[in-house]
Amino acid sequence: MKLPPKAGHRFLAQGEKLYLQPNRVYRFKVAGCILLALAGFGVALTKIVSYDMQVLCQVLSIIVLAYAVFDTLFRVNLTYIFDGGQQQVYRKFPGLFTQKLMPFNEVCILPETEHGSLRYSLSRKRNKFGKSFPLSDFFSGSKKGEKRQLQFEEEILATIVTFVEARSTSTPNLSL
């Protein structure tokens, strides 16, 4: 299912389910890795460098391609599904598997900062600062980053919070 872009993320509200793909920024990193790997293989195949450098270029190209494949499988198409009918949050790796994360009454949405950049994460109410799942990419402190953050908070985060609160059996802690 292809989700429409919204606030720099892919988000879709469909019936009793919300779909969110927070890591669409990684597709540019994947494209850069593929170009870098092609350049490395190109240098190795033209034989303008010594044999040792050819081997080094090929090994580095394989490592970069493996990184691109990993990002494509586990980051770019990662989808969070908020299922109102089951009152569960799922994490789906398309084509691989779907993992049940937590029920709606355990949901806690927290703002996290790392190196001065803010992002929103999904966590359990019992263990707020344990394992968390990123709902957004990092927002920078620039005007463009602040605009993206405001758009994310108004269009996506507010929708998720009202959706979970309306369908939860007990009141979740959705701190913003």
- DSSP secondary structure, 1-53, as one string: -PPPEETTEEEEEETTEEEEE--TTHHHHHHHHHHHHHHHHHHHHHT-S-HHH
137/153 same-domain check: yes
120/66 same-domain check: no
Q: Last residue of a domain, which of 36, 53, 75? A: 75
69/103 same-domain check: no
139/92 same-domain check: yes
**What is the Cα–Cα distance from 2 to 12, expressed in whole angstroms?**
9
116/46 same-domain check: no
**Total domains, the chain:** 2
Say how many residues make up the chain: 176
pLDDT of residue 130: 81
Is 175 inside a domain boundary? no
pLDDT of residue 1: 56
pLDDT of residue 170: 57
56/67 same-domain check: yes
- Domain holding 34, by residue range, is 28-75
pLDDT of residue 89: 94
Q: What is the DSSP letter of 144?
A: H
**What is the Cα–Cα distance from 18 to 43, expressed in whole angstroms?**
46
* 145 burial via Cβ count (<10 Å: 0-12, 13-18, 19+): middle
pLDDT along the chain (176 residues), means of 10: 63 87 82 93 88 93 94 86 92 89 91 88 86 87 87 90 82 52
Q: Last residue of a domain, which of 75, 106, 136? A: 75
163: helix, strand or coil? helix
